[in-house]
């Protein structure tokens, strides 16, 4: 893949690590990702809070047809939500502004893009917030901000690896001072939009750095060899338990 403009982001590493290099190759070749309404609402909350993008809502009932296409064209520079999701994003941004602790964490340099080179591969990251000489932080909208439950979501989605990768980029670029701490500000997507601030432990960051490095090395190998394997290349055995009776779940799968 000859792409002199290619910059590897953490989302690329995560895609290759949690799905497969074949999925990453498809994305790099132009395959489109279909964002969920939750993802769009999360992006809109970021944009409203940080003032980085315009956010608007579509007044129509469904986002299809000629009226929708015309509205989408007129608002190509904006994040477009349904009216309900727009109102929810505004409420979440307002809840964050009223939370002094959250705003202290989400301060400093907002959504500043950093670029560096690692093993000849161009890298890029855009932390939600960096307080130079102090910490980096990510804002995450979630189904629950209960610390006991959100921790599992953070592990599942590799948030610890994302923050560790950002810290590595910040250290390499060097323009934001010595940044050693990392935080997640989690806001629940449903009212009353409770907010939890989580500080990643040294162990979480260490494990996250190992995971991010593993994924990076996988992507580096793919770029060097032009081999982008799918989930599995060999025959995989499918076995069943010895139970006399199996509970079969029926679905639309053929």
Share of the chain above pLDDT 70, in %: 91
* Other CB atoms within 10 Å distance of the CB of residue 33: 10
Q: Report whether 146 contacts 128 (CB < 8 A).
A: no
Q: What pLDDT is stored for residue 242 in this prediction?
A: 75
User: Confidence band (pLDDT; 50, 70, 90) for 38?
Assistant: confident
Q: How many residues does the chain have?
A: 254
Domains of the chain by residue range: 1-28+100-225, 35-98
- In tens, the pLDDT along 129-178 reads 999 999 999 999 999 999 999 999 999 999 999 999 999 999 999 999 89
1-28+100-225 placed in CATH 3.90.320.10: yes
Structure tokens at 187: 């806001």
- In tens, the pLDDT along 203-245 reads 999 999 999 999 999 999 999 999 999 999 899 999 887 766 6
């Amino acid at each position: 893949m000859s792409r002199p403009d290619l910059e590897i982001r953490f989302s690329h590493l995560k895609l290759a690590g949690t799905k497969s290099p074949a999925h990453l190759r498809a994305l790099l070749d132009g395959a489109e990702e279909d964002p969920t309404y939750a993802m769009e609402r999360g992006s809109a909350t970021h944009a409203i809070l940080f003032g980085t993008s315009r956010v608007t809502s579509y007044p129509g009932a469904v986002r299809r047809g000629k009226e929708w296409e015309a509205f989408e064209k007129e608002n190509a520079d904006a994040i477009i939500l349904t009216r309900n999701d727009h109102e929810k994003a505004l409420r979440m941004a307002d809840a964050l502004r009223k939370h002094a602790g959250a705003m202290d964490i989400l301060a400093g340099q907002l959504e500043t893009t950093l670029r560096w080179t690692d093993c000849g591969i161009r890298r890029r990251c855009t932390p939600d917030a960096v307080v130079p000489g102090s910490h980096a932080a990510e804002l995450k909208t979630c189904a629950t901000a209960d610390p006991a439950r959100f921790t599992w979501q953070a592990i599942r989605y590799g948030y610890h690896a994302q923050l560790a990768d950002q810290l590595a980029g910040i250290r390499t670029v060097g323009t934001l001072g010595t940044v050693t701490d990392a935080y997640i500000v989690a806001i629940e997507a449903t009212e009353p939009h409770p907010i939890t601030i989580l500080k990643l432990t040294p162990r979480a960051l260490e494990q996250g750095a190992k995971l991010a490095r593993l994924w990076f090395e996988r992507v580096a190998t793919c770029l060097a060899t032009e081999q982008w394997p799918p989930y599995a290349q060999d025959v995989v055995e499918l076995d069943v338990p010895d139970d006399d009776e199996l509970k079969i779940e029926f679905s639309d799968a053929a």
